[in-house]
Structures are given as C-alpha cells and as structure tokens.
A and B are shown apart, each in its own frame.
Chain A
Amino acid sequence: MILSVRDLQVSFPVGRLMQRSAILGVAGVSFDIAAGETFALVGESGSGKTTLARAVNLLQPISAGEITFDGQRIDGLRGATTKPLRRQMAMMFQDPVGSLSPRMQVRDIVTEPFRVHGVQADLRAEADRLLSLVGLSGDFANRFPHQLSGGQARRVGVARAIALDPKLIIADEPTAGLDVSVQGEVLNLLNDLRERLGLAMLIITHNLHVVHHVADRMAVMYLGRFVETGETEAIFQAPAHPYTAALLSANPEPDPDKAKDRISLPAEVPSLLARPRGCEFHTRCPWAQARCTTEAPATQGADRRVACHFPLSPGARPPAIRETAQ
C-alpha cells in the first residue's frame, strides 16, 4: 500500500470565545491506495473531499486518525520534517492557471521542485524532458501562465507534479475549467503517465463520468463521511447507496430521448453545524425509513463498503418516483 488512511478526522473551530464549537469537515474516513492504482474521491460541495485531499498532503492539520505513506506514519509531521515526504507526494490544484506563479516562466515552474529540494541537474534539459512527457513543445518553456490555455496550463501542472518522480499524485478536480473537447487530453495524459511511470493517483472530483474512465476504485463522500467505497465498474453497474444512485442519475447523457429516470433529491444539503441524527443522508433519501432517522448505519462489507441500513439492490427505483416524460 502506498497510502493508508485510518479514521481520519478534520475539525474546524467555529464561533467566538464564549460559544466555541467545531464542525467536522472530515468525520472519520478510512481507505487504502495500492502502488500504481488510481483512487477517486467523489462528492459535491461541502462533502469534505478537498479538505481530505489537503489533509493527506499535510497542508491541513488533522484532529484524529492516522496517515501512513509508503510505510511511514506521516500524520504527526510538521514544518521542515515534511519536506522529504513532499518529493514523493505531489499535488495538482483546481485552478489550472491560478496554481502557476504568474511571473514565472513555464521552464522555471516545472523545474521548481528541483530547486526546492536541492537536486542537482541540468535544469534546461529537465524542463524540456518534462514538457515533452506531457505533450508540450519546447517553445512553451518561455511562456508565462497567462499565455497558456486551460488545457496547456493543466499539462504544465502535471509536468511539475511528476518532476521528481513521486510515488503518489493527488489531483484536485483535474478537469475543472476545461472544455469538453480537451478534458480527454488531461485524462489520457494521466492514464499514460500512470502506466509508464507506475504512479498511484488520488483524484478528487465531482464529475462522475471522469471517474468512470480513470479510476480503478472510488469512494463517495457525503458530509465528511464515505457512504460507499469499492471498484468503480461495480459501483457504476449497481450502486448500493441511495446517494450514489442519485449522483449517477443526475448526470444526464446528451440524448433528448433517454427516459428521464432521474432520482430527484430535495435540493438542500444539511449544514455541518446541524448534522442530521441517525443516518445523515436520511433528510434527502427517497428510501428513508423510520430506522434511518434514529440509528446511524454501520459500514458493511470489506472490499465493497456501504454505510446504509437498506442498501439498494441492482436497478432499484425510489418508492415515489417523479417521472418527467418528454
């Protein structure tokens, strides 16, 4: 296992002196990533997926739990002691152009890891090598971030991430801000590099279709917890948790005649300050029953895990369907 996370919690203090409390951004999460594997974290805004990614990358302090990377416990590391680790774990950020320093040329951006870690090398040659690995020609080396398109900036970010041959890459919304016709570029590139360099990847996204093509395994997050984990293909064929089913049905295929078997959820996500009792999804769940309002479900299963009292059987439809036929 390249990465092992156990019972991770991240809490944020809220309120002032007299009324201090805390909200749990990540409320107890466990998963593993094997070397060379791609694992996807799926969730909507407020699910805690970005917080979790930052916590794994030690950019966000954690309040409980363990993180083991390449056999070493890293959750207790602070400050300068994290530096050697950062060569092995690289992160790519959401904003393709915004994550590149505006006044640095591409050549310097992709070779910065060398300078930060004092690795001796012919930096000009390394820059050219890295750029060609991501499919950018040599004359991109002189450009500045504002002279790059979204897709090109994305690829520069990838080049920077792989500069020192990390074991794990964390990609936060790799297709955000990209047009449909170029999304494939980044995903194909990541797949290619993964095969060539044997990288493991942790992908954070809200785009389920991206997940389907890139991830071996995935986890669905809701209010800071995993509600379903398992092999991507299996989950797509037969989602077991109602939230997963709703997410899958919420991504319409571009075909006006496809039957609208949409699972509609009441739109409002509960606030983290007032988590629902029992199963936290029960306020929006079309299948909710009495037990769900009082008792939190245990996570059942080993390789395929679901946190639900009544996991769905394949092809299940919600009890009261709103069919919007055309």
Chain B
Amino acid sequence: MSAAASSTLRSARRILAEPLGALGIFLVVLVIGGAVFADLIASADPNKIAPRDRFLPPSLDHLMGTDQLGRDLFARVLHGGRIALSVALFATAASLTIGIVLGLIAGYGPRWLDNLMILVFDALKSFPTVMLALALVTLFGPSLTAVVVVVVLVNVPGYARIIRTQTLALKSAEFVTAAQSMGAGAGRILRVHILPNVIGPLLILASMDIPVVIAIEAGMSFLGLGVRPPTPSWGAILNDGFTAIRDTPWIAVAGGLPIILTTLGFTFLGETLRDVFDPRLKRRG
C-alpha cells in the first residue's frame, strides 16, 4: 500500500474512533445515500399532486405524510437532499477556487493590491447575508444561481483572508527564497511551494462551512428567494409546513428534520477532521 493510502486509512480509523466522528460519518452517509438513491428508496413522484391525499399524517404508505398538495413528503425530502447537496458541493467548490486564487494574489503580490483586496473583502463581509440575498435576487431572480452566488460572496472573503495570511507568512520562508534564488517565477512558486502548504486548514474549514451553505440555501428557499416551486428544497418544504404547523406539524418536521440532521452530521465530521489533523494533538500516544 502506498504511503498516502495507508495514512488515509489511518486517519479514517482515527475519525471513526471518536464517537462524534462516527456519528458524523453515519449521518453524512445517510444524507448522501438518501439523495443519490432517492428514486430507489422512495417510489413516489415528489412533484405528483394528489388533491385527495392532502394533509395525510405519516403512515406506511407515506412515511412522512403528505403536504397541502398531496405530495409524498418522504420523496420530496429525499429529492430535496439532491438540491441541498449539489448546492453545497458546487457553491463550496466555487468559493474555494475563487477564494484561494484571490488569497494567493493578495498575499504574494504588491502591497497596494493587497490593501485594495482587503478593502473589498471587508466591505463584502459587512453585508448581512439576507440583504445580499435580496439584492442578488433582484439581479438573478429567485433561482439556484442566486443561491450559489450568495454563498460564494459570503464565503470568499473569509477563505481569501485565510489563504492570504498564510501566504504572507510563507512569502519569507527560506524554501521560498531558495526557489526564487533558483530562478522560479511567481506562478511556479505559488503553485508548487505555497499552495500545497496553505490549503490544508482551509479544506477542513470549508467542510465545516457546509452546514452553513445548506442553511443559506434552505433559508433563501424558505423566504421564496431560492428555488422556485415545485422544486422540493427543504427550505421550501419548511415554508409550506410553517403556516399549517398547528394542525399538520409533520410537514414542518419533514422540512426541518433533514436540515438538522445534515447540519449536525457535517459539523460533527468537520470538527473531528480538524481535531484528527491538528498536528499538535497528534503526539498523544
């Protein structure tokens, strides 16, 4: 087994050894499995309207009940998982890429560029998320695109800042000076020498941000600023169940429960990842 593979296996075992880590992995696998195999697990069509089956409580036919339009909530929840996860994945990937590039430039480039970028980041960070969402919805209309753009704008300043700080610290490291002395250009230095050494903590942080991304998507959909009906976003389901909560609480549960479980799962997993990879804690025998 190669060195990388065996160390990954060791890390995986370490994560599973922590109770929260094991729980986190379990929940995350549950959510991902549910989303990927949604069609196999729930045979019902999530968008099929059946007026005669409105507001049915949970039963064997409808594991989570039905909503105000008679749609099977279990199927909607599983398909909603696809939306949540695809937004999470795509938006996080985009935020990471943009954040890393900007951070590297800010850290390694000339002082004036750094100052300018910090100004922009701080300005962006000072916007409350909801206001950003509202502003962007006027541009893109309520849609998945709007959600992704909001997530990116919210995450990029923080990621870029982290990369920038690390880059600044490494800029004067001796191995970077050695590379400059050899004749390596800025591009090579950033790509080969700096990036691999700064990216680690950021990846862990990003994985801990996934619950936040999911919450943003759910929140925007709840407010009607995200995916349009009839798309079964969890936030939309929560919105549907919100008004009917006194008489038919299971709708709100169907919307809220997956959000809670997913958030908890990713948070536990992320925190355990961070602890496992913390070099200072590694020395415990």
Using a CB–CB cutoff of 8 Å, the interface residues on chain A facing chain B are 57, 59, 80, 82-83, 86-87, 90-91, 93-95, 98-104, 112-113, 116-117, 160
Q: How far is the CA of A42 from the CA of B184 in the complex (A)?
A: 29
| Interface positions of B from 127 to 175, Cβ below 8 Å from A | 173-175
Is the beta-carbon distance between B180 and A99 smaller than 8 angstroms? no
The answer, yes or no, to whether B36 is at the interface (CB within 8 Å) is no
User: Could you say which residues of chain B place their CB within 8 Å of the CB of A87?
Assistant: 183
The answer, yes or no, to whether B181 is at the interface (CB within 8 Å) is yes
Q: How far is the CA of A117 from the CA of B175 in the complex (A)?
A: 18
The 25 sampled A-B contact pairs (Cβ below 8 Å) are A59-B177, A59-B180, A82-B183, A86-B181, A86-B182, A87-B183, A91-B178, A93-B178, A98-B173, A98-B175, A99-B177, A100-B175, A101-B175, A101-B179, A101-B193, A101-B197, A112-B182, A112-B184, A113-B182, A116-B179, A116-B183, A116-B184, A116-B188, A117-B183, A160-B178
How many cross-chain pairs have Cβ atoms below 8 Å apart between A and B? 54
Nearest first, the 9 A-B pairs at minimum CB distance are A86-B183, A99-B174, A83-B183, A98-B174, A103-B196, A101-B175, A91-B181, A99-B178, A93-B174
The answer, yes or no, to whether B192 is at the interface (CB within 8 Å) is yes
Interface of A is mostly: loop
Interface residues on B, range: 10 to 19
Q: How far is the CA of A41 from the CA of B90 in the complex (A)?
A: 56
User: Could you say which residues of chain B place their CB within 8 Å of the CB of A86?
Assistant: 181-183
User: Could you say which residues of chain A place their CB within 8 Å of the CB of B184?
Assistant: 112, 116
Which residue in A95, A100, A103, A116 is a CB contact (below 8 Å) of B182?
Answer: A116
Q: How far is the CA of A103 from the CA of B179 in the complex (A)?
A: 14
| Interface positions of B from 183 to 205, Cβ below 8 Å from A | 183-185, 188, 192-193, 196-197
A152 to chain B, nearest CB (A): 16
Q: How far is the CA of A116 from the CA of B184 in the complex (A)?
A: 6
Who on chain B is nearest to A164 by CB?
Answer: B182
Q: How far is the CA of A14 from the CA of B161 in the complex (A)?
A: 28
User: Could you say which residues of chain B place their CB within 8 Å of the CB of A59?
Assistant: 177, 180-181
User: Could you say which residues of chain A place their CB within 8 Å of the CB of B192?
Assistant: 101, 104
A48 to chain B, nearest CB (A): 18
Q: How far is the CA of A102 from the CA of B198 in the complex (A)?
A: 11
Is the beta-carbon distance between A95 and B183 smaller than 8 angstroms? no
Q: How far is the CA of A120 from the CA of B179 in the complex (A)?
A: 19
A117 to chain B, nearest CB (A): 6
Q: How far is the CA of A57 from the CA of B183 in the complex (A)?
A: 11
Who on chain A is nearest to B200 by CB?
Answer: A103
Question: Told that A59-B177, A116-B182 touch, could you supply 20 new A-B pairs with CB distance under 8 A?
Answer: A59-B180, A59-B181, A87-B183, A90-B181, A90-B182, A93-B177, A95-B174, A98-B173, A98-B174, A98-B175, A99-B174, A99-B177, A99-B178, A100-B175, A101-B179, A104-B192, A104-B193, A116-B179, A116-B188, A160-B182
Is the beta-carbon distance between B175 and A102 smaller than 8 angstroms? yes
Is the beta-carbon distance between B179 and A112 smaller than 8 angstroms? yes
User: Could you say which residues of chain A place their CB within 8 Å of the CB of B179?
Assistant: 101, 112, 116
Who on chain A is nearest to B175 by CB?
Answer: A101
Is the beta-carbon distance between A102 and B197 smaller than 8 angstroms? yes
Is the beta-carbon distance between A103 and B197 smaller than 8 angstroms? yes
Q: How far is the CA of A113 from the CA of B179 in the complex (A)?
A: 9
User: Could you say which residues of chain B place their CB within 8 Å of the CB of A83?
Assistant: 183
B272 to chain A, nearest CB (A): 23
Q: How far is the CA of A79 from the CA of B197 in the complex (A)?
A: 25
A121 to chain B, nearest CB (A): 16
